[in-house]
Amino acid sequence: MPVLEALLRDAPAGVELVEFTGTVGTGSVGGSQRLDGERPRHRPEGTELFDALHGAASAIGGEQVGVVLRASRSGRREADVVELPEGASYGMGDMIGDLVLVDGALPGLYRRQTEPGANPRPTAASADPAALTRLVHQKLPDAAGAPAAQLAAVEERLGVPLTDEVRALYLAAAAGELIVGGEDGFYGMALIPLDDDETRGWYLPGARMSQWRFGAKETLGPDPRRKVRPLGATPLWFPVGHDWGGNTYAVDLVPDVDGHRGQVVFLDHEQNAGATLVGESLTELLVHGREGEPTGPVGGAGTAHVNDRNGTTVAAAAGNAELEVVSLGLLDAPADLTPLLDRPRVRTLDALPGTLADPRQAARFPGLEYLSMGADDWRILLDAGEVPRQLLAARVAGGDDDLAVVVATANELLGLWDRPLIQVTRLR
């Protein structure tokens, strides 16, 4: 196979065995190498491997596949091609990532939504649709407004009315770069057209969490000022503009108890959850250029990172009554989770391989929906018949030292939920 020969030619002189683990698909090739079993500090300088992989990707077509390649100077030539079923993902650093066990399932934070009519809040006294209309006509004199029917269609889809400010904004200009300030005050935003479902889709629950693993590990505590609700994502944070950097300004249609309907929140594309208040109204932000004091839900409020580096222990984590996520990092000795057992709010347990003193303790969290641990830990649960059946997603952690074991373990888990299995084709 040409790609295996290229793998060997790119290797530094004196290296016997070269391995590559990664993914290959049209327009996308990535992965990592090992030289005689060790990860190099710097990627080998040769380019033949990636040229060959891009060629292989074109031959494969549009489907992304995982590949494990091995070539040695003594003649070893091996390739494993890994095909994942729907609901399974390739990992970041690992060949196999998350296994979604229930179709369409989302982590708890992203399932939490607020009923539009719950605790209705008024708009801010500063909201002035007429002033907003005048500003847009001044700044974008050639802009055409959006049809009223388009606004009505958005409201029907959301299930709630838009604010008068939003209606005024879009009736004055359907799109355009609304630059309202200079060095002082709020600079402005590029309006997001009402029919730009792609941009708004990035901030909906299923997309914003990025991967199940990341979403499962997110927690939010209440906004100290009770302005913005502690939600992972919601269509009722309705994006109206962006900052030319991938972040959006959204109108909040479900504010918290001390917020205002129509307040403007900032949605950071590098954050998987939450929003930050930037203005009590579009008028304050755009007409007057005044940004409010930033506030929003507190990230990580229900998360315990137990590891030796930060000094957080299981006993310390037990002191958090709002604990939802337990993450076990590098530890000198495996952790006993006894102080945390039977807590109904704990929904995620993410444990590096070998950090659990007794993996069977994972079955003692009645609300557990995501479990990530090593193949050896899973083997104990599987053999005991104690895999928590309320799980929505899982992960077999620990890298690709033994891909066959990881795949076999993952397939056992998928089989318990009657899910399609991972397929591996071995070429020798």
Could you give the 3-state DSSP secondary structure of residue 425? strand
Q: Are residues 150 and 264 located together in one domain of the fold? A: yes
Q: Is residue 143 part of a domain?
A: yes
Looking at 264, 297, 330, which one is the last position of a domain?
297
With CA atoms as reference, report the closest residue to 361 among 382, 347, 381: 381
Q: Is residue 315 part of a domain?
A: yes
pLDDT of 27 strictly over 70: no
Its pTM stands at 0.91
Burial class (CB in 10 A: 0-12, 13-18, 19+), 291: middle
Q: Are residues 405 and 308 located together in one domain of the fold? A: yes
Q: Are residues 314 and 331 located together in one domain of the fold? A: yes
CA distance 261 to 357: 49
Question: What range does the domain containing 55 cover?
Answer: 2-83
User: Under a CB-based contact definition with an 8 Å cutoff, are residues 212 and 348 in contact?
Assistant: no
- The rounded mean pLDDT for the chain is 92
Q: Are residues 351 and 270 located together in one domain of the fold? A: no
Enclosing H/E stretch for 58: helix 48-60
> What is residue 62's predicted lDDT score, i.e. its pLDDT?
62
Helices (H), 140-276: 148-158, 164-172, 197-201, 205-208, 212-216
Q: Are residues 258 and 383 located together in one domain of the fold? A: no
Q: Are residues 338 and 266 located together in one domain of the fold? A: no
User: Under a CB-based contact definition with an 8 Å cutoff, are residues 195 and 372 in contact?
Assistant: no
Torsion angles phi and psi, residue 52, rounded to 5: -65, -40
> What is residue 289's predicted lDDT score, i.e. its pLDDT?
93
Q: Are residues 265 and 380 located together in one domain of the fold? A: no
Q: Are residues 125 and 158 located together in one domain of the fold? A: yes
Greater confidence (391 vs 15) lies with: 391
CATH label of the domain that carries residue 276: 3.40.1580.10
> What is residue 162's predicted lDDT score, i.e. its pLDDT?
97
Q: Are residues 361 and 261 located together in one domain of the fold? A: no
pLDDT of 102 strictly over 70: yes
Q: Are residues 346 and 258 located together in one domain of the fold? A: no
- 314-340 confidence digits (pLDDT tens): 999 999 999 999 999 999 999 999 999
CA distance 428 to 425: 10
Greater confidence (30 vs 396) lies with: 396
Q: Is residue 217 part of a domain?
A: no
Q: Is residue 286 part of a domain?
A: yes
CA distance 316 to 303: 12
User: Under a CB-based contact definition with an 8 Å cutoff, are residues 276 and 256 in contact?
Assistant: no
> What is residue 46's predicted lDDT score, i.e. its pLDDT?
65
Q: Residues 24-34: what's their mean pLDDT?
A: 77
Q: Are residues 132 and 250 located together in one domain of the fold? A: yes
pLDDT of 12 strictly over 90: no
Q: Is residue 146 part of a domain?
A: yes
> What is residue 142's predicted lDDT score, i.e. its pLDDT?
96
Domain count of the fold of the chain? 3
The strand pairing partners of 90, in sequence order, are 96
Q: Which two tokens stand for residue 263?
A: 């307040």
pLDDT of 176 strictly over 70: yes
DSSP code for 287: I
Greater confidence (42 vs 21) lies with: 21
Based on C-alpha coordinates, what's the Rg of the chain?
26
Q: Are residues 15 and 128 located together in one domain of the fold? A: no
